[in-house]
Amino acid sequence: MTSSVDQTPDRFSEAPISRLIGFEVAHDAGDGLTVVALEAGEKHANPMGRVHGGVISALADAAMGTAYGRVLLAEEDFSTIELKVNFMRPVKMGRILATARMVQRGLRIGFLDCEIHDRRGKLVATATSTCMTLSR
């Protein structure tokens, strides 16, 4: 069976939400480990001038979704059914990296985790996700 990576190499990196917010797939070998980057600027700021928590959550979701989506078969799709984010510190503007990895994939349910680091390499958030595999 062919993986979705072979059929649609830009499916995740070229998603409309990725273009809108500015996500970039920085590393993805199709093995359940993915790094998604964001060059955070003023358009991503909250009223306090820091990166909005929703943007950080979306970055984590994009990284974990890409990691999960890349290991699916061509006839499979998925949906996130749970997302949890823990914030450690506020994030200033600059490059933010979300590193997601597959923890476990079952027949219908997958578990992933993610660490988000700022431009100085400081851990700013962690996230977990549960995804459900769907037939196309």
pLDDT of residue 61: 97
pLDDT of residue 37: 97
* Residues of the chain where predicted confidence (pLDDT) is lower than 50: 1-9
pLDDT of residue 45: 96
4-135, superfamily in CATH?
Hotdog Thioesterase (3.10.129.10)
pLDDT of residue 32: 87
pLDDT of residue 10: 57
pLDDT of residue 29: 79
pLDDT of residue 1: 34
Residue 4: count of CB within 10 angstroms of its CB: 21
